[in-house]
Amino acid sequence: MLSRSRARLIGAFFVLAAATSFIALALYQDVLNDPATAAATDVRLGAFLEAVLVISVIGTAVAVWPVVSPYGPSTALAYVIGRTVEAVAIMIGAMSLLVALTVPSELLVSLHDVTFLFGPGLAIGINTGLLAWLMYRSMLVPRWIALIGLVGGPLVFVSSTAVLFGAYEQLSPVAAVGALPVFVWEMSLAFWLIVKGFLPPSVEVREPTDTLVRGGVA
């Protein structure tokens, strides 16, 4: 039986990631529009929240790995790697805006925009599809939740690709609509895990242990 505490932890990481990303983006609006007049406190607080976001993104991958790896080890590993790439992109973007406080530069703002496109855009589309597929196969959550992710992941990837090639602006209503299913997927998954936990697994899953066994594998 998968532990309720692990399910709640994964759900909490998703909620924390969503909250910190939205608040940080709101705090960044001035520096994104004009780095020379941005409030330093807002940018620093936004960068701090994105550091928490990075922890949440990596925490999600680490916490969910032992749960989903029995249903597709390669896919689960790809998810961990993808979330790590996403986290690195987010951190680079945050650091670029911190530097822009000292050296106001449109180039640094543009770097943030690019990392935002590749991290919370293209990478999250791939990562959503990977985890949704694992959840669909395992039936650890209701299939309708997994289906939202299976639709949302490719949709935000296609939308981010359209932004990359200049079809519309990154922070446009069309882009927001493209990202909405991923938000619904993450919040549906998060609240189900926090309130209900995982459904009974279709294969036996051993919980990870912190005990070190000398001379062999436990």
| Cα–Cα dist 76/72, whole Å | 6
Query: Each residue of 32-47: pLDDT tens digit?
Result: 888 878 889 999 999 9
Total-model pTM? 0.87
Query: Each residue of 104-145: pLDDT tens digit?
Result: 888 999 999 999 999 888 999 999 999 999 999 999 999 999
Given a contact cutoff of 8 angstroms between Cβ atoms, the answer to whether 195 and 15 are in contact is: no
**Does residue 197 come out as left (phi exceeding 0), alpha (psi in the -120 to 50 range) or beta?**
left
Helix (H, G, I), strand (E, B) or coil at 134: helix
Per-residue pLDDT of the chain (218 residues; tens, 9 = 90+): 568 899 999 999 999 999 999 999 999 998 888 887 888 999 999 999 999 999 999 999 999 999 999 999 999 999 999 999 999 999 999 999 999 988 888 899 999 999 999 988 899 999 999 999 999 999 999 999 999 999 999 999 999 999 999 998 888 889 889 999 999 999 999 999 999 999 986 554 444 443 333 333 33
Instruction: Please give the helix or strand (H or E) that residue 145 lies within, else none.
Output: helix 143-164
Start-to-end Cα distance in the chain: 19
